[in-house]
């Protein structure tokens, strides 16, 4: 048995190599509380797959964590977390096994909603708003609204934890843990044969003056045109619902993330949107990661697995801006944003 366990562990480590990232079917959350960030702000993460939140108010964790596996599509409804209060304790980072090959159906109604960050990766934090909590609260709202439209929403996480699901002998941190977590989100979407993947975030900036809403897509995929159509539908839906509800928003537009960040002369997109890529042992070390957490013994590189369906990432306001953060704390505004995301997804799937 010990020999079999070691073989399975090695297989899990080989497969979980990725690079740079409900139940409320009947009622919306009753409040939109927030967490006040404490302590000195730290510099933003340097990983290519983290969304462009570069505020001095971004909390950059030194380690990552993930939960045990959850049944994403059939879980018992749970109350959404408050986006206020202290961050809960975190679990051990884990890496998922590779999913089986899947064939995608053109008429599937499954949509994967990805609340960004979680656990020790906080995201942006300022003016009483902590992104990881805000993202999850928004995902629960979108889930409810999509279900009301007859769609099948699946969340990549349902708690303040990482999305990975298989145990490791040693818990990786930083760059390595982020790779494992982001790959788990992509693998879930692929295994669910989703028709669309939408990742929910809020922005941050070193400048408190930046405001607004933007949506990212990737133009370097076989389904690039559908990526753009999904991103545009979500962008327009959110702005339309906010305007109807009486909330202003700077329209920052739909943006191609194909060369969002550069490292060692290479362009990197957001991990959950971009194509698969090779990461070498040397690059893992340069990025501060632990190769032993990502590579099997003797391996010098790994190739990530990319989302196989149209995907977009929405940035809902700037937490680093006082006016935007105030809107994010507003219950009616949050419900309007959720309606806009659901409306955009429904329009993309032509089920309005």
Q: What is the pLDDT of residues 186-203, one digit of tens each?
A: 999 999 999 999 999 999
pLDDT of 101 > 90? The answer is no
Q: CA-based angle 144:146:152, to the nearest 5?
A: 100
pLDDT number for residue 170: 45
Mean pLDDT of the region 286-297:
79
Whether the Cβ atoms of residue 168 and residue 85 lie closer than 8 Å to each other: no
Lowest-confidence region among 98-112, 150-164, 196-210, 220-234: 98-112
**Where does 93-147 show beta strands of DSSP type E?**
110-115, 123-126, 129-130
pLDDT number for residue 54: 36
Q: What is the DSSP string of 218-272?
A: -SSSTTHHHHHHHHHHHHHHHHHHHHHTT----EEEEEE-TTSEEETTEEE--TT
What region does 284 belong to: left with phi over 0, alpha with psi -120 to 50, or beta? alpha
Domain count along the chain: 1
Percent of the chain with pLDDT over 90: 51
Q: How far apart are CA 321 and CA 19, in angstroms?
A: 30
Alpha-helix residue ranges (DSSP H) falling in the chain: 2-15, 131-148, 174-191, 224-244, 281-286, 291-294, 322-328, 331-349
Three-state SS at 288: coil
* 189: CB partners within 8 A, 6+ apart: 112, 114, 154, 156, 197, 307, 308, 309, 311
pLDDT of 23 > 60? The answer is no
Three-state SS at 301: strand
pLDDT number for residue 292: 78
* 152: CB partners within 8 A, 6+ apart: 73, 109, 110, 111, 146
| More confident site: 216 or 26 | 216
**Model pLDDT for residues 328-347, shown as the tens digit of each residue:** 999 999 999 999 999 999 99
User: DSSP assignment, residue 118?
Assistant: B
Q: Strands 278-280 and 301-303: what pairing?
A: antiparallel
Whether the Cβ atoms of residue 185 and residue 21 lie closer than 8 Å to each other: yes
Mean pLDDT of the region 208-217:
97
**Model pLDDT for residues 229-247, shown as the tens digit of each residue:** 999 999 999 999 999 999 9
pLDDT number for residue 105: 52
pLDDT of 48 > 90? The answer is no
Q: How far apart are CA 144 and CA 28, in angstroms?
A: 8
pLDDT of 120 > 70? The answer is yes
Query: What six digits make up the tokens of 207?
Result: 């400048």
Which residues pair with residue 58 across a beta bridge? 124
Whether the Cβ atoms of residue 124 and residue 323 lie closer than 8 Å to each other: no
Whether the Cβ atoms of residue 274 and residue 268 lie closer than 8 Å to each other: yes
| More confident site: 27 or 318 | 318
pLDDT number for residue 44: 34
Measuring CA to CA, which residue among 135, 208, 141, 186 is closest to residue 311?
186
pLDDT number for residue 61: 31
| More confident site: 281 or 117 | 117
pLDDT of 274 > 60? The answer is yes
- In terms of residue numbers, what domain contains 344? 2-349
Sheet holding 110-115, edge to edge: 152-155, 110-115, 196-203, 311-318, 213-217, 251-256
- Tokens 């999913």 found at: 99
Q: What is the CATH number of the domain that holds 58?
A: 3.40.630.40
Lowest-confidence region among 46-60, 69-83, 112-126, 127-141: 46-60
pTM score > 0.85 for this model? Answer: no
Three-state SS at 314: strand
* 332: CB partners within 8 A, 6+ apart: 245, 247
pLDDT number for residue 82: 52
pLDDT of 163 > 70? The answer is yes
Measuring CA to CA, which residue among 107, 200, 90, 143 is closest to residue 339?
143
pLDDT of 322 > 50? The answer is yes
pLDDT of 140 > 50? The answer is yes
Q: Provide the CA 297 distance to its chain's centre, in angstroms.
A: 30
Mean pLDDT of the region 295-310:
86
Mean pLDDT of the region 21-42:
36
Mean pLDDT of the region 19-27:
36
Mean pLDDT of the chain: 75
pLDDT of 95 > 80? The answer is no
How many residues are present in the chain? Answer: 352
């Amino acid at each position: 048995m010990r020999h079999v366990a070691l073989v399975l562990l090695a297989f899990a480590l080989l497969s979980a190599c990725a690079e740079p990232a409900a139940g409320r079917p009947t009622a919306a959350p009753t409040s939109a509380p927030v967490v006040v960030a404490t302590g000195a702000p730290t510099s933003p993460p340097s990983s290519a797959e983290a969304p462009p939140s570069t505020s001095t108010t971004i909390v950059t964790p030194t380690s990552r964590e993930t939960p045990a596996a959850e049944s994403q599509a059939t879980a018992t409804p749970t109350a959404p977390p408050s986006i206020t209060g202290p961050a809960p304790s975190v679990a051990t980072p884990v890496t998922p096994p590779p999913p089986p090959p899947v064939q995608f159906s053109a008429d599937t109604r499954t949509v994967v909603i990805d609340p960004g960050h979680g656990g020790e990766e906080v995201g942006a934090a300022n003016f009483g708003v902590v992104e990881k909590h805000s993202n999850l609260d928004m995902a629960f709202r979108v889930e409810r609204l999509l279900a009301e439209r007859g769609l099948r929403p699946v969340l990549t996480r349902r708690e303040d934890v990482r999305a990975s699901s298989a145990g490791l002998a040693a818990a990786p941190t930083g760059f390595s843990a982020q790779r494992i977590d982001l790959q788990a989100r992509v693998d879930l979407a692929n295994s669910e044969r989703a028709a669309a993947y939408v990742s929910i975030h809020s922005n941050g900036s070193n400048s408190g003056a930046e405001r607004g809403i933007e949506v990212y897509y990737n133009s370097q995929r076989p389904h690039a045109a559908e990526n753009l159509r999904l991103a545009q539908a979500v962008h327009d839906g959110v702005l339309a619902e906010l305007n109807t509800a009486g909330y202003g928003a700077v329209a920052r537009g739909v943006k191609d993330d194909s060369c969002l960040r550069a490292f060692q002369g290479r362009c990197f997109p957001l991990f959950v949107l971009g194509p698969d890529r090779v990461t070498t042992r040397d690059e893992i070390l340069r990025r501060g990661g632990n190769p032993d957490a990502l590579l099997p013994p003797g391996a010098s590189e790994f190739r990530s697995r990319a989302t196989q369906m149209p995907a977009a990432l929405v940035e809902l306001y700037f937490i680093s801006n006082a006016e935007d953060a105030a809107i994010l704390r507003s219950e009616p505004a949050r419900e309007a944003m959720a309606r806009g995301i659901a409306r955009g997804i429904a329009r993309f799937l032509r089920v309005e």
